[in-house]
């Protein structure tokens, strides 16, 4: 049985919708639908009933869903043990934006605790606030809430104030604080289609879609900063983000803090990931 198809099946079964599952997996809907059809062909049974409202699992689908998570977890454990026996253990850490949260102190502390483990950093963009966890391209992630935490363990590391990012010559840039109302009528950066709705709402200033003038679609911190610098759009960012020359940060009094977290799939629980999360918590504390 193809484990890749099983991961696709789990995503559709959990989302109960092919479109949402495709967005979560960072793929388009037609190949996902073909993959599920292939899995049904391989198993010789229908796993899902499709309708305009979404997806409903058949009894066979319910059975597979109950078994698939344990099977994939076992496969991950076997993979980790084989890598360990070969003396080649790699932990892929997903990050969002500029990757600065996986900084020097954390790297040094982790190397001291696990000198034989290779760390591979994977930078995601705004379309995936889980920084590769949903797509299965990261083992653990340093990212920011809010996002759909289904199937994930999430440990908060720190809460950072959020501010507006403005050109230094902007009349509002000299203020000590701002409110979201002060930014009414200004073009606001947009996030890619398929982005987690919780994440989209937060970074849109916690307002319903369409309530602000639409600016450019941005996928990374760098793109957001450049959209402000070159086009005068509104950006918002945690206090910890480094700004390029020409931009200023002013705290927003009515934005809830941005919560930095370490997260990983429940299905990938391991001593190594738990150690990474513990070290990250100690560093950020």
84 near 73, Cβ under 8 Å? no
pLDDT confidence of residue 206: 61
Q: Which tens digit of pLDDT belongs to each residue from 40-92?
A: 999 999 999 988 878 899 999 999 988 887 787 677 666 656 655 655 688 99
Q: Measured between alpha carbons, how far is 223 from 269 in angstroms, rounded to an integer?
A: 34
Domains of the chain: 3-82 (1.10.10.10), 88-158+259-284 (3.40.190.10), 162-256 (3.40.190.10)
Q: Which tens digit of pLDDT belongs to each residue from 181-231?
A: 999 888 888 888 888 888 988 988 765 444 677 788 888 888 888 889 898
254 near 182, Cβ under 8 Å? no
251 near 175, Cβ under 8 Å? no
195 near 131, Cβ under 8 Å? no
Q: Which residues pair with 4 in a beta bridge?
A: none
Q: Which tens digit of pLDDT belongs to each residue from 11-30?
A: 888 888 888 888 777 678 88
């Amino acid at each position: 049985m193809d484990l890749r198809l099983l991961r696709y099946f789990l995503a559709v079964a959990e989302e109960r919708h092919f479109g949402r599952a495709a967005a979560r997996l960072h793929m388009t809907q037609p190949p996902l639908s073909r993959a599920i059809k292939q899995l049904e062909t391989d198993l010789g049974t229908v796993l899902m009933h499709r309708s305009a409202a979404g997806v409903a699992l058949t009894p066979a689908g319910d059975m597979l869903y109950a078994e698939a998570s344990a099977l994939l977890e076992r496969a991950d454990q076997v993979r980790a043990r084989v890598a360990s026996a070969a003396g080649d253990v790699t932990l892929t850490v997903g990050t969002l934006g500029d990757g600065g949260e996986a900084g020097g102190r954390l790297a040094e502390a982790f190397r001291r605790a696990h000198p034989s483990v290779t760390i591979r950093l994977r930078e995601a963009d705004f379309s995936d606030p889980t920084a590769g966890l949903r797509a299965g391209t990261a083992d653990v992630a340093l990212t920011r809430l809010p996002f759909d935490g289904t199937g994930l363990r999430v440990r908060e590391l720190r809460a950072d104030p959020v501010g507006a990012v403005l050109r230094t010559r902007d009349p509002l840039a000299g203020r000590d604080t701002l409110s979201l109302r002060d930014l009414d009528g200004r073009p606001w950066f947009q996030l890619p289609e398929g982005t987690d709705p919780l994440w989209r709402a937060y970074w849109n200033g916690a307002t319903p879609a369409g309530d602000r003038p639409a600016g450019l679609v941005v996928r990374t911190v760098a793109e957001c900063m450049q959209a402000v610098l070159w086009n005068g759009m509104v950006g918002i960012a945690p206090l910890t983000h480094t700004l390029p020359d020409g931009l200023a940060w002013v705290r927003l009094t009515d934005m809830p803090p941005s919560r930095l977290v370490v997260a990983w799939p429940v299905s990938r629980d391991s001593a190594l990931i738990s150690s990474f999360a513990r070290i990250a918590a100690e560093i950020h504390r």
